[in-house]
Structure 1
Amino acid sequence: MSRRASDDLAQVPHLAGDLGTNQRQFVIKGDLAYVGEKGENGAEATYQHADGAPVETTSPLGYNVGYWSSFFLNVSMIIGTGIFSTPSSILHGVGSVGLSLVYWVIGAAIAFSGTSVLIELASYFPSRSGSNVVYLEQAFPRPQYFWPLVFAFQVIVVRFNSGNAFVVASYLFRLSTHSPKDWEIKGVAIAVVTLVSALVIVHQRLSLHVINVLGVVKILTLLFITITGWAVLGGGFKHKVADPKANFRHGFKDTSNDAYGISNALVSIIYSYTGYENSVRFANEVKDPIRTIKNSTFASVGIVFFLYFFVNIAYFAAIPAAAVLDSKLTTASLFFETLFGAKAARGLTILPILSAVGNITAVITGQARLIREIGRQGVVPYPRIWVQTKPFGTPIFPVFIMWFFATFFIIVPPAGSAFNFINALQNYPSSFFLALMTVGLYFIRRQRAKVGLPRSSYRSWDVVNIFFFLTNAFLLVMPWVPPKKGLNDSSFGFFYATAALVGLGFIVLCGLYYVLWVKILPKLGHYQIRKIVVAHDDGSVGHQLINVPNDQVDEWDRKHDPAGHSITSADDNNVEYVNVDETKEKV
């Protein structure tokens, strides 16, 4: 193995991309070790902390994600069923039509800021899929394996996709006019999750095509509502709507002064835009990933904002605000019924059904990449089954895990309060990790500057990053603010901060498990944990963590590089070491 140091620090960043696809370059400064590897997705070389899961030079999942797939992966995840129902809950929280419209603008600003943060992070690691999994791993390499372990628990156990499956089931029964029993709704919801999971497992390209097609349906649906709203404002439905501008004349009248309700409305807005990060999870499956993902993600957020804003205009043009607040129907159903009649409204229910199915497909497809990347980190048992893609070239076990937990949480909790609690429980850790990831962006910048790595091809403005961090900090603080009507006045009917307490409890439990796994057991067993790079016959590559007896650690370290590759004579021509401290001395 060659150990060459550059003659000039300015040459160290040939780091920026002229490595071959079978070459590795280690950049070392003190106890920091970075490894550079290049994938076949047309991106510059990925330089990452050596503890990170190795780059898969050739993606075993293929390169099936182009601009439009990237665009619709985001659109289909952002647009679920929220836009068909959320406007009424927003209006209930803020009290006035004017402020509810302002909230949709604020939500778009938050989504744009989150996109900017994610694109910079992706630009550092363009050949790593998995998004947040990778960024937390790289921002916080110490304590070793801690944050990957905590995030793994949150993604695998706590985050599941049962909510929209319930929505699909409920809407399907509404189409049939049958009044379902609880077990009937659950049965249909399980069938929906099962069918979508089977599709994602069996045929990856077909699942992407389904996402694209249903994404087009979503956009056309919201365009239909938007254009219909414009027609209402232009007087086209005078026989149905006597005064289409009534809600806008005194738009901020009746604005609420209830801080709890206003805060909850903002939370709902923020989650209505969630999903703009989906295409980043596919980075190693995208040719020219940073340019493609950047353009498609900003475009998807912009188009969704346009549609969201004007759909709300349409709703309030056709429906009096009081009717929106009092109705038991979703806002979209009330809109359709007002303009087209009850029968037509029932038939148009197919549109939110298709939207929800598209959302489920996009979520399962994208989240499978997160879970597979967790497997590649080696922090879960039997990482091979999490990583391999045979026989269909898809992440089979991650999809199965999602199906299992989604089915479990459809069957076990009763509808109503328990289900609302589970939804709240998912949201709190998500905000925590987004806030942590934003702080981690600055850690990554600092660590890379220390070893002389070049600036990223995209750099997010500090004011944007701070805004995004404060947004997520708000989501962490808000659940602790007690409601005016009593400590048990929550969506789940018991102590209002229970979801936040349980979310923090999960992190504490993971911390205790980490201490046992990484500190106590190795001390009692007289061994140390080491990582090795394992390549599988389907082209998958990942880390496996092994226990090395203390009396063998020095020999093991001599035979393995900092990333966990076994050192052989074949490495002489494709591995280079750059010691930054030695280079400085020469300069």
Structure 2
Amino acid sequence: MTELRQRNTNTEIETDVEPVIRLKRNVGITSGISFIVGSIIGSGIFISPKGVLTETGSVGLSLIVWVSSGVLSLLGALSYAELGTMIPKSGGEYPYFMEATFPIVAYLFSWTRTIVLQPSGVAIICMTCASYITTFFEYCGSPAPPLKIIAVIVILTICIINCYDTSGAAFVQVFFTVAKLLAIGIIIIAGFVKLSKGGDKELWNGFEGTTDSPSKIALSFYDAMWAYDGWNTLNYLTEELKNPYRNLPKANVIGVLLVTIVYLLTNISYLAVLGKDGLLNSDAVAVDWGKEMLGDAYIIMPIAVVFSTFGAANGFCFSSARMVYAAAREDHLPEILSYVHVKRYTPMMSVMLTGFIAILMVIPSDVGSLIDFFSFAAWLFYGLAVFCVVILRFTKPNAERPIKVFILIPVIFTLCSIYLVIAPIIQEPSLEFLWAFLFIVGGLLFYFPFVVFKLDRGCFDKVTIFFQLLCEVAPSPYIADKESPGTSGKCES
């Protein structure tokens, strides 16, 4: 049994395991690529990719937007590869903001992503997964259980998997990524068959009806980039990646390129089978495509959506927990959230927090309307994180960089991020954007008293001790590998 002792208001835990309790490197190149692909490909490509086509007005421009969005994601992935190999810490953008001397930005990022962005993303994906699970009850002739109960069960299942074992979560990600790629493979192959039988008429008139509105083109990129969200997933678990200085950049590039090709070919298949009008009138493109091409076997498509959304939610939960873990290790969140299970070596407390908030997000009737007004914040932080590449080139020019990208790559990505943040606000200015901004800066109400001035003075020690005993977790300081190109700072609990 774990023995606990307290010294000078700091809690320590003695166990019979190894002296330093830390996350284990259980994620290889295959599972790394699966985390990226599985997190990017969620429900969007299966349900309603018509947003890009609606805004662009033409087939040709919509396909260009899909490819260009993949290229933009690749620029971000390359920039993150430099940051991730230079600063080999879990937590995604958070340690990069800290290293680039932006502690306030790092805190606001952790505050916004912990409370709203990641949990609501998990909630939305799990609600989509639940909605397709209920369709199976119709085939059996049984009444479907309440949608939100199924969504909660999905969230709890994902949290249990991530709390139990990192290797198990990685295996789940690989399995569901392969499953969704097989389903997409069916769509792509059938699309080529349709093209060979004269289904290419829409492509010959590709640019007919193209919009001349710059704001609409910007919004089409916004829709497409939402479908690519998740390209930075692997940077959230750098400390659990085997040989990150080789596998991180390789997985980032391969994962984004694979998704770009898949998205392009899948959209071509949709257009070949349904046509432009059919795609615009469809709310569930993959299902309508299945009814047209597969007949009674179209049930394969709802199954594919369930697999796809479950895998995406697992990737979201995995990466979100690592960001919470990294922020708590810097005392930007309660210390207990940085503790690791002494036997499973998983960040159990941060996983539990992510799952708990996600369940709360399921309760409202329309979670999507909430996240819509915070989506600009995500791209704001993406742009700032990539700009850290430029900042660190000047502030730490002699730091070891296993990967060093051409300086124009982060500059172009930053400019595009600014455009994506400003465009929707100019197109449809709304009071909700102001409320979202106020929520983000509202995190400063906690930053100054609890982080800067540390006014808690050990008030949470009893809570920390309670959860240490209950969940068998212990502190996990960051210790760089001896063979790793280091970084000047260390995160310590």
Q: 1:390 to 1:63 in 2, by over 3 A?
A: same
1:407-422 aligned at under 5 Å gives the runs 407-411=359-363, 413-415=364-366, 419-422=367-370
Question: 1:199-229: per-residue Cα shift (whole Å, max 9, x none)?
Answer: 1112321121111111111222211111111
Distance 1:219 1:70 in 2: 15
Q: 1:57 to 1:95 in 2, by over 3 A?
A: farther
Deviation, 1:420, is 2.5
SS in 1 for 2:260: helix
Q: Does 1:324 align with 2:279?
A: yes
Report the residue type matching 1:122 in the other structure: G
Deviation, 1:514, is 3.2
Q: Does 1:303 align with 2:248?
A: no
Deviation, 1:365, is 1.3
Mapped contact 2:176–2:307 kept (Cα < 8 A): yes
Partner of 2:234: 279
Mapped contact 2:202–2:275 kept (Cα < 8 A): yes
Partner of 1:147: 105
Deviation, 1:510, is 2.3
Distance 1:447 1:281 in 2: 23
The one of 297, 306, 310 aligned to 1:357: 310
Report the residue type matching 1:74 in the other structure: I
The one of 495, 501, 510 aligned to 2:434: 501
The one of 26, 41, 51 aligned to 1:79: 41
Q: 1:539 to 1:66 in 2, by over 3 A?
A: farther
The one of 156, 170, 175 aligned to 2:114: 156
Distance 1:71 1:118 in 2: 15
The one of 414, 439, 444 aligned to 1:511: 444
Q: 1:248 to 1:205 in 2, by over 3 A?
A: same
Unaligned runs of 5+ in 1: 1-55, 236-242, 484-495, 527-535, 544-561, 567-587
The one of 137, 141, 149 aligned to 1:187: 149
Partner of 2:134: 173
Partner of 2:287: 333
Q: Does 1:467 align with 2:412?
A: yes
- TM-score, scaled relative to structure 1: 0.71
Partner of 2:377: 429
Mapped contact 2:191–2:268 kept (Cα < 8 A): yes
Mapped contact 1:425–1:500 kept (Cα < 8 A): yes
Q: 1:263 to 1:506 in 2, by over 3 A?
A: same
Distance 1:425 1:261 in 2: 18
Mapped contact 1:140–1:440 kept (Cα < 8 A): no
Q: Provide the aligned length of Structure 1 versus Structure 2.
A: 450
Mapped contact 2:91–2:326 kept (Cα < 8 A): yes
Report the residue type matching 1:203 in the other structure: D
Mapped contact 2:331–2:451 kept (Cα < 8 A): no
Report the residue type matching 2:52 in the other structure: I
Partner of 2:329: 376
The one of 167, 183, 189 aligned to 1:227: 189
Distance 1:216 1:283 in 2: 22
Report the residue type matching 1:410 in the other structure: V
Partner of 1:585: none
Partner of 2:346: 394
Distance 1:204 1:226 in 2: 32
Question: 1:26-61: per-residue Cα shift (whole Å, max 9, x none)?
Answer: xxxxxxxxxxxxxxxxxxxxxxxxxxxxxx996722
Mapped contact 2:115–2:357 kept (Cα < 8 A): yes
Report the residue type matching 2:437 in the other structure: L
Question: 1:114-166: per-residue Cα shift (whole Å, max 9, x none)?
Answer: 0111011112122x11121110111125xxx4233212211210121111111
Percent identity over the alignment is 22
Mapped contact 1:67–1:292 kept (Cα < 8 A): yes
1:466-485 aligned at under 5 Å gives the runs 466-483=411-428
Mapped contact 2:325–2:337 kept (Cα < 8 A): no
Partner of 1:448: 396
Deviation, 1:475, is 2.0
Question: 1:53-78: per-residue Cα shift (whole Å, max 9, x none)?
Answer: xxx99672211111111111111101
Mapped contact 1:371–1:398 kept (Cα < 8 A): yes
Partner of 2:52: 90
Higher helix share: 2
1:512-551 aligned at under 5 Å gives the runs 512-517=445-450, 540-542=475-477
Q: 1:564 to 1:460 in 2, by over 3 A?
A: closer
Distance 2:104 2:324 in 1: 16
Distance 1:335 1:120 in 2: 40
Q: 1:309 to 1:180 in 2, by over 3 A?
A: farther
Distance 1:175 1:519 in 2: 53
The structure whose Rg is larger is: 1
Q: Does 1:103 align with 2:65?
A: yes
Deviation, 1:454, is 3.7
Deviation, 1:347, is 4.0
Mapped contact 1:158–1:425 kept (Cα < 8 A): no
Mapped contact 2:374–2:433 kept (Cα < 8 A): no
Partner of 2:220: 265
SS in 1 for 2:318: helix
Deviation, 1:444, is 1.7
Deviation, 1:361, is 0.9
Deviation, 1:278, is 1.2
Deviation, 1:180, is 11
